[in-house]
Chain A
Amino acid sequence: MSKKLLEVNDLKINFKTYAGIVQAVRGVSFELYEGETLAIVGESGSGKSVTSNSIMKLIPQPPGIYAGGEILFDGRDLVPLSEKEMAKVRGNDIAMIFQDPMTALNPTMRVGRQITEVILKHNKNVSNAEAKDRAIKLLDLVGIPMPEKRFRQYPHEFSGGMRQRVVIAIALAADPKLLIADEPTTALDVTIQAQILELMKDIQKKSNTSIIFITHDLGVVANVADRVAVMYAGQIVEYGTVNDIFYNPRHPYTWGLLGSMPDLKNNVKEELRTIPGSPPDLIHPPKGDAFAARNEFAMAIDYEQEPPMFKISDTHYAKTWLLHPDAPEVPIPDAVQQRIDGYLKEAEENGK
């Protein structure tokens, strides 16, 4: 078994606003092993970015408050670290790729220099010429044509997709142990997206990097993830291997997410499933299960008491009262089950 790199325990992040205290992350726990990819999915506002930013200690304080929990990286809790100590971790051990490449690039500095700076900062005994060679190799690796020429250009001379690849090259230049990618491919077209996903996987194989990948594209999740955390209203509501989540989803919110994707393969043309209603107000999170109001299978207890994480298997957990031994049997909705059956049948046929 590989080594545990990151362990987040009962993390709580609040924001102080005029309207009141926003409980953006409400007790999140997960772990990440070396060389593993964890995908975090969930709808807009569910706390994906706040969770990942908090690992980098990028939550502005104020208004942000680390209200509880710990973030153990290589066994050391990052929460109490000073900004100076954290800056070291950020440069060396953890790197982050954001959705919008322009926020990560300096518009007035040549692209090449932005990469060599990182290389030089992290490797005290590398010469300028070596750093340049490496930077050009990285540009080539992320699929930028004519990297020697591009090395001398400014960000505005690059297309959106190319800028995102530069940001990825910069993140990789530090050779981090943990790479956090927050919607890194959402703005890109599928061809470039596929290229970048392949690249990230290649690098992961070579350097045994751990990756946290945030996205709301379930196709991308199926492609990159070893494990998946589904977030709803600041909490993880289902957690498991990628196969657990896609072939044996147990939380009704996960059913909703899976059902809202069109099913390309099985050629179903019926209406897409939608999740009715809107997410709860995180200043006054509802009593009981936060998903109850939108859950067609909600029971009386859902409005009274918050469900615990029920264990389904050694790898698979879900936070819904439907898993309580006394709860009625609620099967996965037909439309979702049908497509799972379709996928599994095809896999079996191809396996023969």
Chain B
Amino acid sequence: MANKLLEVKNLKQHFGTSSNPIKAVDGITFDVFEGETLGLVGESGCGKSTTGRSIIRLYDITDGQVIFKGKDIHASKSRQELKEFNREMQMIFQDPYASLNPRMTAGEIIAEGFDIHGLYKNKKERRDHIGDLLEAVGLNREHANRYAHEFSGGQRQRIGIARALSLNPSFIIADEPISALDVSIQAQVVNLLKKLQKERNLTYLFIAHDLSMVKYISDRIAVMYRGRIVELGEADEIYNNPIHPYTKSLLSAVPLPDPLTERKRTRIQYSHEETTEEIKVHEVLPNHFVYGSDNQIKKWFK
């Protein structure tokens, strides 16, 4: 089995006031292994982005631990160590239009991190490296001098990816990186992410609500519901053998490009059952985890 690159332990991220908290993420635990893609899915507002943002330290977490390469990210750290985390972990954002400054050239956007980390002081070295990154994401070296607004949506998302790669990270959080793109461009970006993963041994946390792309790109999938991970397992296993009723409901809602199936589709409604029993994670099958009480698991897993 591959090494654990990231361990998230009982992570909580609450917003609002202590008397009226919004429990965006409410005690989640999972590992991400080196070189894999972990997909994170769930309905809007369930806490997917908050999970990503907490991991990358955009927030001070409410509780729990995030351990990256054996070190606790949120424990107080020297500036040097923080810088190192910032280099190793990068994020790609959902909206390729909003996340790039239109008044900067592609080259400037990609090289922003170099200065912060004091890399490539030599001009030629710097230019070469920008060119290499542009080529790695399927653009041309000449694109370095063009402004962000001169690129199409798919090209902008590539610039976002080149920026994320610029500091040679090992871990990338991709928060809905393709939702804003149209299908044929989605395919280009997904193929690119897979290719880069192979070439650079990257590890991804891939956040999305489009289950078909998530299943295609992920090795394992975590299903989130109201701030908790309710099911986690191998992508095929989650798709073919879902146990938690929320996962079943979610899968039953994904439309397939197959009219004969669609005409017969019946959606499974999910109604959340509260329970007073102790709720915990059960490994129902090897590497297939479901969150529930003993009785619930018995009922769901027949």
Contact = CB atoms under 8 A, between A and B. Distances in A.
A194 interface: yes
Interface stretch (B11-19, B69-77, B182-190): B182-190
Nearest to B181: A44
Given A44-B153, A216-B182, A264-B239, A272 B190 contact: yes
A264 B256 contact: yes
A223 B266 CA distance: 11
A317 B288 CA distance: 48
B184 A256 contact: yes
A197 B252 CA distance: 14
B44 A192 contact: yes
Which of A198, A225, A258, A262: most chain B Cβ within 10 A?
A262
A271 B191 CA distance: 6
Contact of A258 (B43, B188, B250, B257): B257
A346 B261 contact: yes
A223 B259 CA distance: 6
B112 interface: no
Interface string B241-260: 00000000110111111111
Interface residues of A, number: 50
Contacts of B253: 190-191, 193-194
B44 A257 contact: no
Interface in B174-220: 182-188, 190-191, 194, 209-213, 215-216
Contacts of A242: 259
* Chain B at the A interface: SS class: helix
Contact-size category for B: 35 or more
A260 B256 contact: no
Interface in A151-189: 159-161, 188-189
B182 A43 contact: yes
Given A189-B43, A190-B209, A347-B261, A272 B249 contact: no
22 contacts: A44-B182, A44-B185, A190-B209, A192-B43, A194-B252, A218-B257, A222-B262, A223-B259, A246-B259, A260-B186, A260-B187, A261-B187, A264-B216, A265-B258, A269-B216, A271-B191, A274-B187, A274-B188, A275-B184, A278-B152, A343-B260, A346-B261
Interface of A: 43-44, 159-161, 188-195, 197-198, 216-223, 225, 242-243, 246-247, 256-262, 264-265, 267, 269, 271-275, 278, 343-344, 346-347, 350
